[in-house]
Structure 1
Amino acid sequence: MKRRTLWSTVLAGALALAGCGSAGSDSSSGGGDDTLVVWDWKSGDEAAAAYIEAAKADFAEQHPDVTVQFVAQPFDQYYTLLGTAMRTGESPDVMLFNGGGQLRDRADKLLPLDDYVAEDMERLAGWEAFSEDDTIYAAPVTLQGHPIYYNKALYEEAGLDPEKPATTWEDFLDDCETIAEETEASCFSLGNKEGYGIQFFLSGLGSAVLTPEEYEDWVAGNRDWTSPNVRRIFELWQEADDAGLNNDGVNSTALFNDSLALFESGDAAHIVGLMSDIGHWKDFGEFLGEDNVGVMRAPLVTDGASPSLPYDGGIGYAVAKGTEHPDLAADLVRSLTSTDALTDFYADAGAVVSDTTVDVSGGGPALSAIVPEIETGQPALHVALSAETLDLMGRLSQQLLSGSVSVDDALRQLADSDQGS
């Protein structure tokens, strides 16, 4: 189950817990006898509408007398609302998670799904991000990675070859200097208002800094926060901003969607983006023209490093351990990861779905550049961290840019948090 499988091919407005449609006072999870309640942040998204309807139709074929109620929560409050619901015994039956720490930190409140999804193991990829101690707690809907996208039109305007992006950090800095001189664009578009930008930076550039052994140790949990190469990643975070590579006001720029809009408008030449359903190849292609969206490997920083595409399971649906209907809830998760539903999610949202049988050959040049990289891609570095450590890293990353904390002090705090997780 641990092997990495080859992949071939916000609703605005918070909902009060009392009125969100989750468990009643006499139930630890979900709705009544014939109702399942689902929390996510996708079902209110127009681009996901066909996907949700296909999943509901698949489930209704098996269970025509069961009502499924989707409650779309605002993403920026999602885990706070979910955490409160879990603590008060008001969990929904089924809930959406990002892969990694947010799920793993709540694994004790989730239903193990191994027995329910055994038939889907080969068809779907990305299981590792939704597992803890070799137990599966959610089924992957998408794969999420952090490619470095670049604007080929800006490269041409700057007199650079758009088909030959830099492969070393030194050459990349030279290209950034040229872009600054010849265009009005910044080198990077970066948003860190929520503290998320450091996660993209860490995973997007980390494979170009850490050696393969260091990378493997990091993902396995054997992280040395004092090593020179780990320190180098956080130095680069600080140095890039000090050197003016980023747009102005990184700490006051929201990653979603302000930094994405900067890249889409041609005001930045590069962005560490996503590969699935937002801030990705399809979104950027619609604004810049798909032929102007380039994908590059992280430029080599450290001799001996091996740059690769960082990716993991993106989002996945889990089942509350206390649900009154575990079999029904697990069947709904399987419908939410059915081939027909995921095919619609790819077609409408551009999601790089977990289903290895979905054909994405018509996705355009940027997706065509991403797909071969998935074969040799490595797990995303930030996904290996706990939610607590990620929250701390977000705050410290803002302080690093403002100059109110040193790299060494930040790393000491992160090491303490990581060891305590």
Structure 2
Amino acid sequence: MKHRAVVSAILLAGLALAGCGSATGSQSSSGDPDGRLVVWDWKSGDASAAAYIDKAKADFASKHPDVTVEFVTQPFDQYYTLLGAAIQAGKGPDVVLFNGGGQIRDRVDALLPLDEYVADDRQRLAGWEAFTSDGRTYAAPVTLQGHPIYYNKALYEQAGLDPESPATTWDEFVNDCAAIIESTGADCLALGNKEGYGIQFFMSGLASGILTPDEYDAWIDGKRDWESPNVKRIFQLWKEAGDKGLNNEGANSTAMFNDSFALFQSGKAAHVIGLMSDVGHWKDFSEFLAADELGVMAAPVATAGAVPSLPYDGGIGYGVAKWTTDPDAAAALVRSLTSTEALNAFYAEAGAIASDTTIDVSQAGPAVAAMVPQLSSGKPALHVALSSQTLELMGRLSQQLLSGSVTVDEAVRQLADSDQAG
């Protein structure tokens, strides 16, 4: 089975490289005679992103009419594997979509710094930090990605709770969960941890109520004390939520995208730590929950001195591969992909909270109205500061914590070693 998986990954990588910009003479990038740029992402094939892509392509075409742009949509679950194969080969797409944080920082050696190209966009766009490394910018942010705690106000009412006054402490939250489970039969928290992503959302969604402000800032700055009681408390609460039955059954076998979100929006769970932008978010949920039934709550406080805040960063952003034969045109395409007109279309159609701070979101509804004002005081999400290697390990350990096959102390020690090695 292992051999078959390796062969499959190689075949997938080979097929993906066949759609590269600078990979072959027949499929060249803009520096070659046929003037072509190839973009890899996992968004352009989504119907909700169609208007966004069309606006970006039109903006680019108006400035570079002799350059053809081809978007190649890759499957997200194979995306970074395929990109890794392209990086190893030293050839691939000209423009590449990344998640902010470790996924791009681990691959900056394969990218061109964009600082000289995006200087005029600095004030208009937010979320740059998630795409920087050692003071250089390697992608321009398309969205702002936060991790709000959504809740179902209708289930609160059924449980005799005040839907306008969600819990402000962890103990209150656990008590509210017990009331909801008993009165409605719904689970308290929708959790999908099949891929190990659940712990990332749990950490970032709840940590501002667990770490003190100084501890939080130190974590983001890379001064992480994994052995501190409050850091351990994050993983203790993760285990406690599982042990006390707050999560849906079979969380380790439930996919986050989109099974856990489906549990929430169908009323089978009262809370979910979701996303702020374009999937598993307010607009998705509004298809099933009326606007006045969808609430957003602050992280419940579990540690004295903690100050809850909305965790957010640059969500996704496009960068330029260092092997492109026309970096100027590739960088211009990145700017078109982050133009106000394109990003406004992404917000309007997909509900993306775009990086462009000039876009008016005042008509989006109560949930967005509750989130956007918090951006000015929000802090980066904790998991985004970690390397992809440490995140992968944390995912595996989180599954073991829920199953009881590892202790919190053992898990934290392994994570500390990984973080220091990275």
Query: TM-score of the superposition, structure 2-length normalised?
Result: 0.95
Q: Secondary structure at the match of 1:302?
A: coil
Q: Give the Cα–Cα distance (whole angstroms) in 1 for the partners of residues 316 and 302 of structure 2.
A: 30
The aligned counterpart of 1:19 is: 18
Deviation at 1:25, TM superposition (A): 3.8
1:7-46 per-position Cα deviation (integer Å, ceiling 9, x unaligned): xxxxxxx682243244334599846440000000000000
Contact 1:275 1:351 in 2 (8 A): yes
* Aligned position for 1:267: 268
8 Å Cα contact 2:94/2:324 also seen in 1 = yes
| Pairs within 5 Å for 1:151-162 | 151-162=152-163
Does residue 59 in structure 1 map to residue 45 in structure 2? no
| 1:125-160 per-position Cα deviation (integer Å, ceiling 9, x unaligned) | 000000001100000000000000000000011111
RMSD: 1.5
**Number of residue-to-residue matches in the alignment:** 409
Q: CA 1:322–1:242 in structure 2 vs 1: closer, same or farther (change >3 Å)?
A: same
1:375 Cα deviation (Å)? 1.2
1:30–1:37 contact (8 Å) kept in structure 2:
yes
Alignment of 1:96-135 (within 5 A): 96-135=97-136
How far off is 1:285 after superposition? 1.3
User: Which amino acid in 1 is paired with 2:244?
Assistant: A
Q: Aligned partner of 1:191: which letter?
A: G
Q: What is the Cα deviation at residue 322 of structure 1? A: 1.5
Spell out, residue by residue over 1:107-137, the C-alpha distance to the aligned partner (whole angstroms, 9 max, x if none). 1110000000000000000000000011000
Partner of 1:197: 198
**Equivalent residue, structure 2, for 1:386:** 387
Separation in structure 1 between the aligned mates of residue 42 and residue 177 of structure 2, nearest angstrom: 36
Distance across 2 between alignment mates of 1:418 and 1:18? 32
Letter in 2 for 1:96: L
- Quick check: 1:36–1:93 contact (8 Å CA) kept in 2? yes
Match of 2:50 in 1: 49
Name stretches of at least 5 consecutive residues in structure 1 with no aligned partner.
1-13
1:90 deviates by 2.5
CA distance in 1, matches of 2:72, 2:420: 36
SS in 1 for 2:201: helix
Q: What corresponds to 2:5 in structure 1?
A: none
CA distance in structure 1 between the aligned counterparts of 2:148 and 2:23, rounded to whole angstroms: 43
Give 2:293's aligned amino acid: N
One-letter amino acid of the structure 1 residue matched with residue 65 of structure 2: P
Q: Which residue identity does 1:24 align to in structure 2?
A: A
Aligned mates of 1:38, 1:284 — CA distance in 2: 30
Q: Which residue of 2 aligns with 1:345?
A: 346
Does 1:144 pair with 2:145? yes
Counterparts of 1:154-303 in structure 2, within 5 Å, are: 154-303=155-304
On the 8 A contact 1:196/1:394 being kept in 2, the answer is: yes
Task: Name stretches of at least 5 consecutive residues in structure 2 with no aligned partner.
Answer: 1-11
For 1:397 and 1:169, locate their aligned partners in 2 and report how far apart those are by CA, in whole Å.
20
**Displacement of 1:89 after TM fit?**
1.9
Give 1:308's aligned residue. 309
Other-structure match for 1:9: none
SS at match of 2:383: helix
Aligned to 1:400: 401
Kindly provide the CA deviation profile for residues 284-328 of structure 1, in whole angstroms up to 9, marking residues without a partner as x.
Answer: 111111110000000000001111000000000000012101000
Name the % identity. 69
Q: Which amino acid aligns with 1:129?
A: A
Task: Look up the match of 2:75.
Answer: 74
- Does the CA contact (< 8 Å) of 2:146 and 2:312 recur in 1? yes
The CA distance in 2 between the partners of 1:367 and 1:292, in whole Å, is: 13
Change (3 A) 1:27 1:212: farther
CA separation in 2, counterparts of 1:22 and 1:197? 35
In structure 2, what residue type is equivalent to 1:93? D
8 Å contact kept, 2:21–2:27: no
Q: Which amino acid aligns with 2:339?
A: S
Show CA shifts across 1:214-265 (max 9, x none).
Answer: 0000000000000000000000001100100000000000000000000010
Task: State how far apart, in whole Å, the 2-side matches of 1:302 and 1:18 are.
Answer: 49
**Does the Cα contact within 8 Å between 2:397 and 2:406 map onto a contact in 1?**
yes
Structure 1 distance, partners of 2:408, 2:85, is: 34
Residue 269 of structure 1: SS of its match in structure 2?
strand
Q: Following the alignment from structure 2 to structure 1, what is the Cα–Cα distance between the partners of residues 98 and 378?
A: 22
Indicate the residue corresponding to 2:96 in structure 1: 95
Aligned to 2:374: 373
C-alpha contact 1:151 1:293 (8 A) present in aligned 2? yes
Q: Distance in 2 between matches of 1:264 and 1:234?
A: 26
Letter in 2 for 1:277: D
Q: Give the superposition deviation at 1:184.
A: 1.2
Supply the AA of the counterpart residue of 1:105.
D
1:412 aligns with 2:413: yes
Corresponding residue of 2:318:
317
Name the CA distance, whole Å, in 1 between partners of 2:39 and 2:29. Answer: 8
**Change in CA separation of 1:345 and 1:191 when aligned onto 2, cut-off 3 Å:** same
Question: How far off its partner does 1:344 sit?
Answer: 0.2
